[in-house]
Amino acid sequence: MNYLDKYRLYLLLECGFSANTIEAYLRDVTRFLTWAEEGGLDALQVTLPHLHDYTWTLHECGLAASSLSRALSSIRSFYRYLTLEEYIAQDPTELLSNPKQGEHLPDVLTVAEVDAILSAIDLSQAEGQRDHAIIELLYCCGLRVSELCALTLDALYLDDGFLRITGKGSKERIVPIAPHAVEELRLWFAARGEIDIKAGEEDYVFVSARRGRHLSRITVFHNIKQYVAAAGIQKVVSPHTFRHTFATHLLEGGASIRAIQVMLGHERLRTTAVYTHLDRRYLREQVLAHFPRNKR
């Protein structure tokens, strides 16, 4: 009988929890243990810094403060059990604090709201297909707006379903791109071929039809604001909203938290073995299996 089986009995017999509460606790603990295992970390070796990393990751993936508090309560209960049963000598959750309930999190879009924003784009305009592809990449790949604006043609591996992204600190990562987003890019390239692109700007994926130069972050912000208004959405939406939505939808769909960390290019990973544990095929499988855009 493994830790979780014994822990289930502990919750049932000693804590007297209901079946629904037990399943919620086990779901939270299983998600944490999967995160630890994918980082090469044994459950009995977890320390407070690991727990801080995990808390920060859930926050970045869009978990509300109330949901995060419940997840941490489950983990505290699990490690309290391990301590009582003397599997570990010291409970690593003793100094683990809950997030502040009033802490602001960015808005998260629903799939329907993303579709509404895309539908607000006039594809008959020269730059309509470009902006359609931009929003698809922000949402389907979780890119930062700076990464999107700097994206070059030689970083695209569309036949293989990957992008090579240069993130913060000039660190590169490989990000899966789903077939739907690949098709949007190919449609944009057909329109892009008609644009008179300035010398030195030819390598950029996204360029202005009027200026022939690569897009700035301000332009992307401005265009998204217009489409959001046209779609009648009242939420505060920026390019980062799509990145945040990407992570949240993957998390809600059951994707590996470690995989989400790698795809987002998060640097706060104390267990650096994650980069050898998760290969490209696995990351792509996570997106194809758990992202709502690919379940249609």
Model confidence at 273: pLDDT above 60: no
Q: How confident is the model at residue 170 (pLDDT cuts 50, 70, 90)?
A: confident
- Residue 156: pLDDT over 90: yes
Is 168 within 8 Å of 265 (Cβ atoms)?
Answer: yes
Mean per-residue pLDDT, 136-165: 93
Tokens matching residue 258: 């470690």
Question: What number of other Cβ atoms are within 10 A of residue 296's Cβ?
Answer: 6
Q: Is 243 helix (H, G, I), strand (E, B) or coil?
A: helix
Domain residue extents for the chain: 3-84, 111-294
Active-site residue numbers?
144, 168, 240, 243, 266, 275
User: Under CATH, which architecture does the 3-84 domain have?
Assistant: Orthogonal Bundle (1.10)
Strands (E), 132-255: 156-157, 162-166, 172-176
Please tell me the predicted confidence (pLDDT) of residue 190: 92
State yes or no: pLDDT of 286 exceeds 90: no
Confidence tier at 293 by pLDDT (50, 70, 90) = confident
Q: What is the mean pLDDT of residues 172-191?
A: 91
The answer to whether residue 253 scores a pLDDT higher than 70 is yes
Whole-angstrom distance, CA of residue 233 vs CA of residue 229: 6
- What are 255's two structure tokens? 């994707």
**pLDDT tops 50 at residue 6:** yes
Hey, what long-range contacts does 279-282 have (CB within 8 A, 24 or more apart)? Answer: 280/162, 280/174, 280/176
Name residue 156's beta-bridge partners: 163
Q: What pLDDT, on a 0 to 100 scale, did the predictor assign at position 295?
A: 63
Higher pLDDT, 95 or 279: 95
What fold does the segment set 111-294 form as a domain? hpI Integrase; Chain A (1.10.443)
